[in-house]
Amino acid sequence: MVRICVADDEKACVDRLREYLERYFAGNENDYSLSVFSDGQALVDGYQPVYDVVFLDIEMPNMDGMAAAERIRKADENVVIVFLTRMAQYAVKGYSVNALDFIVKPVGYDVFAEKLRRAIDTAAKRAERKIEIRMDGDVLWLPASSVYYVEVRTHDLIYHTTMGEYRVRGSLTEAEKSLRDCGFKACSRYYLVNMRHVLGVYDWYIIVGDKKIEVSRRKRKEIMLALMDYHGGR
């Protein structure tokens, strides 16, 4: 899941970016979420570091994009910032807030798609991936590295983590889709394991942390290949 935020007071530009995002992700394995703000002040009020990429219009009322970026950077070192502007000379100031790039309006799809691809790649390298889980109306963001494995029991998912267990409603298929880019792989119909914590692969089981987890014969080769990919072995 790529979490994207757009702050722009021009409705036409926001609508165009919505269309471009739908078009880009229609042919992409990743899914995305989008939050929209009409000015910089609305974005920074109560800002939480939950976004991967933020598109910021530089010229906005109440608080412009540059001032908003300065506030955001104090709270979030990892989020990727891309400026939107009608005047390219403003983009030079972006280096002071470690902005990745800028896009000159009006925004064309090809340029946007290339900037978005670069932003997503940078976000994946820069940030510790977070897993969003919802429990009894509360939302938790767990660092992907803290999860040993995910277990399915009837209609529930149990996240086994370094901080304890978290039980939520869901299916293994849903979990596998959301964790695809975080180094997780299904080893059977009941378990999704984090390659980071796999200590050994044996005939019928794998060691994850201090637990033996059964691996199906059909999945064993996939697990071995996933481990090689994770550790850069192929």
Q: Which residue has the tokens 């104090």?
A: 74
pLDDT given for residue 234 in this prediction: 40
pLDDT given for residue 128 in this prediction: 65
pLDDT along the chain (234 residues), means of 10: 95 97 89 94 90 94 92 86 82 67 93 95 74 84 88 93 91 85 87 88 89 91 81 46
Whether the model pTM is above 0.75:
no
Domains in the chain, start-ordered, CATH in brackets? Answer: 2-126 (3.40.50.2300), 142-230 (2.40.50.1020)
CA quadruple 187, 194, 182, 233: dihedral, nearest 10: -80
pLDDT given for residue 131 in this prediction: 83
Residue spans of beta strands (DSSP E) within 115-220: 130-135, 138-143, 147-153, 156-161, 164-169, 184-186, 191-194, 198-201, 205-208, 211-214
